[in-house]
Amino acid sequence: MKKILIIEDEMRIAELERDYLEVNGHSSDIATTGEEGLKLAKENNYDLIILDLMLPGVDGFDICRQLRDRLDIPILMVTARKEDIDTIRGFDRGADDYIQKPFNPSELVARVKAHLTRYERLVGKNRQPNEIRIKGLHIDLESRRLYVNEEEKELRAKEFDLLVLFASNPDRVFTKEELFERIWGIDSFGDITTVTVHIRKIREKVEEVSSNPKYIQTIWGVGYRFKK
């Protein structure tokens, strides 16, 4: 289910849009002024915004620009005048689509659906990987689980973070100081011997022979490196 924000001062139209979206499985909130719309957009994670151009107070142009400064979700602008569409197109950071009033609600729903799909594809491409597989290691980043040769191993939070840092940067040499700073933060208590202790713990869990590690290797006098 997608969440849609409708910014529209004519309640009759806003409710019509909401009803059609709901029938098609989307939930929506209605804002009847631009200010209210901006406030709701800041406080909630919407998937798409339907924005009326003619609003009391701050108009749709300004709202669109302000929304664009902070959001990259699709914005569909609704306007009563055809000429306005040409004006809006002139803006660099305008809406993703324009719908002229009076519109056929099914048409609106179809465009909403098309933009949601397009946006999902776009975002999906840039999405971070949710797992790392290297040799016998399988790190599930979403559930924070680790499997070694398909057997689940329990790691503590910092051990997991350390392993992910290594596995995300194979062949890179990290000094103990760098690891401590990256995982524990420069202001945290403790000292870099913590790093040594944690790496020993990780090795006990992931290596077949702790004394002859095949994943996290010691680079004497420098630090550690994760071997791919």
Least Å distance between CB 70 and Ca ion?
23
Closest residue to Ca ion, based on beta-carbon distance: 54
Least Å distance between CB 22 and Ca ion?
21
Least Å distance between CB 9 and Ca ion?
5
Q: For residues 32 and 194, which CB has a smaller minimum distance to Ca ion in the complex?
A: 32
> What binding mask, one character per residue, do residues 41-80 give for Ca ion by CB under 5 A, x or -?
-----------x-x--------------------------
Residue 84 interacts with Ca ion (CB under 5 A): yes or no: no
Which uninterrupted H or E stretch holds 85? helix 82-89
Exposed (0-12), middle (13-18) or buried (19+): which is 192, by Cβ within 10 Å?
Answer: middle
Among 9, 47, 84, 159, binds Ca ion (CB under 5 A): 9
Least Å distance between CB 54 and Ca ion?
4
Site for Ca ion in 91-120 (CB under 5 A): none
Angle subtended by helix axes 60-70 and 34-43, to nearest 10: 10
Least Å distance between CB 133 and Ca ion?
53
* Interface with Ca ion: number of residues (CB under 5 A): 3
Query: Residue 134 phi/psi, 5° resolution?
Result: -135, 120
Site for Ca ion in 195-214 (CB under 5 A): none
Angle at 190 between CA 155 and CA 198, to 5 degrees: 25
Angle at 173 between CA 169 and CA 175, to 5 degrees: 120
Distance CA 226, CA 159 (A): 14
| Residues within the interface to Ca ion (CB under 5 A) | 9, 52, 54
